[in-house]
Structure 1
Amino acid sequence: MNFYSTNNTDHQVEFKEAVFNSMPQDKGLYMPASIPKLSDKFLNNLDEYTLPEIAFKVASAMLDGAIPEEDLKEIIHDAINFLAPVVKLEEPVYVLELFHGPSLAFKDFGARFMSRVMSWFLSVGEKQLDVLVATSGDTGGAVALGFLGVPDTRVTILYPKGKVSEIQELQLTTNGQNIRALEIDGTFDDCQALVKQAFTDKELNEKFRLTSANSINIARLIPQTFYYFNAYAQLLRQGKNKVVFSVPSGNFGNIGAGLLAWKMGLPVHRFIAATNANDTVPAYLKTGIYEPKPSVQTLSNAMDVGNPSNWARIADLFKEDVSALTGLISGYSYDDEQTKEAIQQVFDKYNYVVCPHTAIAWKALKEWEVANPSNDITGVFLSTAHPCKFPDAFPAEISDAIVVPESVKELEGKEKQAVALGKDFEGFKAFLLANN
């Protein structure tokens, strides 16, 4: 399977190069040259397969021999070694819990798979791989834990100062070994811009072997399709086969993976893109005009993205056909007050605690259901992070109901290790060159 740049379909590379180079020099994003359609036999009998079996089938089709089958099975069994259960809250509302991995966030799927793929491709004696990653919260923790101790790799995480939760910051800054953190005096968009510029800087690319662990890397996106197929499999076991997914959306890699699964044949009835005040995509879905804007800080910090990178992939999937997009995707956005109300409503209604991102997805699903009443559609909203990662988001009553995992308790008291930098590229570049 070859992968092309969204800015130039004639520029095609093999999977290894797409993984290690992350972003083409023309600043596009890699997409599969052809998206394989999975067999009806497999799709109609998804309920007979486990999550690792589904993951292997999907990855095998997408990678088309780039990694031998037995090695790919081993990668998947090592990387996807936790559950992603669909939990019924009421009929027909279910929550897909994606926070059971090491960093307590959905990004464990992508980060763990990608780190092991990169490690498999690295040959003994090859030049060290420098992984650059911008995070608005959860990506950094997932990548840090996914790559911690992986030989011949070094990870540099850029995060916006004062705009991640305390637990998220501890997950980024207390690892040591081959993981280092940069505290950028700016927004997530500033962090992302620094990473993107590094990939197109000639001197840095001559000096380092650079790649990204953000969702701009195709190896992050592919494994995120696994949990859509697996969620559908769980619902099939309950006799449900018409599903709407409501997805908390920031950089749009999560819903982008869902759309990739749909292209591979997963029969999703509709996707809902649920955002906070950073409503670039919901506004586009309403007006047909795409206008990126500076990001604003919100309670749901991991979605504070004003110019989502992965929208280029989604536009490419639909060849920028607005009517086709709106025929499959609805967009909703909510401010912080509405988010707080949703958190309280979910707790009061179900005695269930959701993080701010998850609350937005639930609210969007409920609003969509009111506008589209149906007796045969099952709504699934994605829970992207454990609520313990956002202690300041909850009133005391709800906070007291959160069961904090032992892995989080172990972070308390650890010393933060981060280098403070401004948002100018020259300062970032100077740091990289001085700390080779």
Structure 2
Amino acid sequence: MQFYSTNNKDLRVSFKEAVFNSMPLDKGLYMPEVIPQLPASFIDNIEKYSLTEIAYEVASALLKDEIPADDLKALVEEAANFDAPAVPLDDNTFVLELFHGPSLAFKDFGARFMSRVMGYYLKDGEQLLDVLVATSGDTGGAVALGFLGVPNTRVTILYPKGKVSPIQEQQLTTLGQNIRAIEVDGTFDDCQALVKQAFADEELNQKFRLTSANSINISRLIPQTFYYFNAYAQLKRKGFKEVVFSVPSGNFGNIGAGLLAYKMGLPVKQFIAATNANDTVPRFLETGVYETKPSVQTYSNAMDVGAPSNWVRIMDLFKQDTKVLKEVVTAYRFTDEETLEGIKDIAEKYDYIACPHTAIAYLAVEKFRQQTEDESAAVFLSTAHACKFPDIFPPLLASKIEIPLSVEELSGRTKQADELKTDFAGFKSYLLHH
């Protein structure tokens, strides 16, 4: 399988090149030259497969012969070695818990797969691989833990000052070894812009071997398809054949992976893109005008993205046909006040503690059902453990949150982070001299 740039479909590169280059020089994003169709026999019998078996089948279809079968199986089994249960809340409402990996966030799927793929391709004696990543909250922790100790790699994480939760910051700034953190006096969009400028800078590319661990990297997108197929398998075991997915959406890599799975043959009835006040995509689907705006800070900080990078991939999947896209994707936005009400509602109805991102996905399911009277099985994605957002919850709910051992071990560790402004000259100088 080869991959093209969304800005130049005549460009063709191998999976290895797409992974290490991360973003083409024309500033597009890599996509597979063909969207493979999974065999009907696989979809019809998917309930018989485990998560890692599903992951292998999907990865094999997308990568073809890029990685030998036995090696790919080993990579998948190591990367996806934790559960992703679809927990029933009532007869036809499920929460897909994607926070059982090491960083307690859904991005562990992508970060662990990507780090294993890069480690597989790296050879002894090769130039050090510099991984640059911008984070609005959870990406950084997942990448840091995914790459911690991986030989011949150095990870530089940029995060917006004062806009990530304390636990998220601890995951970014206390690991040391081959992980370093930069606290940027700006927004996530500023961090993302610095990373993109670095990839386009000739001098930096001559001196360093740069790649990205953000969801712009195709090796982040591919493994996120796994849990959509696996969720469908779990529901099929319960007798469901139609499903609606509600996805908390910021940079739109998560729902982008779901739509890739849909294009590969996953029978999804509807996708719901659930956003906070950073509502670039809902506004586009309402008006037909795609207009980015500076991101604003919300309680659901991992979704605080005003210019979602992966939207170009989604438009590419639908061949720029907004009409067809709107038949598959519905989008809603919710305020912080509505988010808090959603957290309380889930707790009262189901005795379930949901993080703010998860609450927004739940609210979107409720709104979709009110507007459509659709009673299909609905799965809303829980993208992070509630313990990452202790200040969001009322005391009574906060007291019910179980704190994982991995979080307790972070407390007391010393923060190690450099500070930068939002100017690219300062970031470039940092990279050149550190």
Specify the TM-score bucket, using the shorter chain as the normaliser.
over 0.9
> Unpaired segments of 5 or more residues in structure 1?
none
CA distance in 2, matches of 1:3, 1:46: 27
What does 1:289-308 align with in structure 2 at a 5 Å threshold?
289-308=289-308
Query: Is residue 392 of structure 1 aligned with residue 371 of structure 2?
Result: no
CA distance in 2, matches of 1:374, 1:138: 32
Find runs of 4+ consecutive structure 1 residues off by over 3 angstroms.
none
Q: Does 1:328 align with 2:328?
A: yes
One-letter amino acid of the structure 2 residue matched with residue 13 of structure 1: V
Three-state SS of the structure 2 residue aligned to 1:268 is coil
Work out whether 1:403 is the aligned partner of 2:402: yes
Counterpart contact for 2:368–2:374, Cα < 8 Å = no
Structure 2: gaps of 5 or more residues: none
In structure 2, how many angstroms separate the alpha carbons of the residues matched to 1:45 and 1:400? 42
Task: Please list, as runs of the form range in 1=range in 2, the aligned pairs for 1:53-202 lying within 5 A after superposition.
Answer: 53-202=53-202
Q: Residues of 1 paired with 2:53 and 2:350: CA distance?
A: 32
Alignment of 1:312-391 (within 5 A): 312-375=312-375, 377-391=376-390
Correspondence for 2:258: 258
Q: CA deviation at 1:374?
A: 3.4
Q: Provide, for residues 356-376 of structure 1, a one-character-per-residue CA deviation record: whole Å limited to 9, x for no partner.
A: 00000000011101112234x
State the aligned residue count.
434
CA distance in 2, matches of 1:313, 1:337: 31
What root-mean-square deviation, in Å, do the aligned CA atoms of Structure 1 and Structure 2 show?
0.5
Residue of structure 1 equivalent to 2:431: 432
User: Is the 8 Å Cα contact of residues 35 and 263 (structure 2) preserved in structure 1?
Assistant: yes
> Identity percentage over the alignment?
68
Q: Which amino acid aligns with 1:148?
A: L
Q: Distance in 2 between matches of 1:93 and 1:47?
A: 18
| CA positional deviation for 1:251 | 0.1
Tell me the residue number matched to 1:243: 243
Give the partner amino acid of 2:144. A
What is the match of residue 17 of structure 2? 17
- Aligned residue number for residue 211 of structure 1: 211
Aligned to 1:47: 47
The match for 1:35 is: 35
Rounded Cα–Cα distance in structure 2 between residues aligned with 1:370 and 1:64:
43
Q: CA deviation at 1:408?
A: 0.2
Which sits farther off after the overlay, 106-115 or 118-127?
Answer: 118-127
- 1:346 Cα deviation from its structure 2 partner: 0.6
Length-normalised TM-score, structure 1: 0.99
Aligned-pair distance for 1:91?
2.0
Listed one character per residue, the Cα deviations across residues 79-135 of structure 1 (whole Å, up to 9, x for unaligned) are 110000000001211000000000000000000000000000111111010000000
What is the identity, as a one-letter code, of the residue corresponding to 1:400?
Answer: S
**With structure 2 as the length reference, what TM-score do the two structures score?**
1.00
Deviating more after overlay: 319-328 vs 246-255:
319-328
1:20-50, Cα deviation, whole Å (9 max, x unpaired): 0000000000000001000000001100000
CA distance in 2, matches of 1:286, 1:397: 39
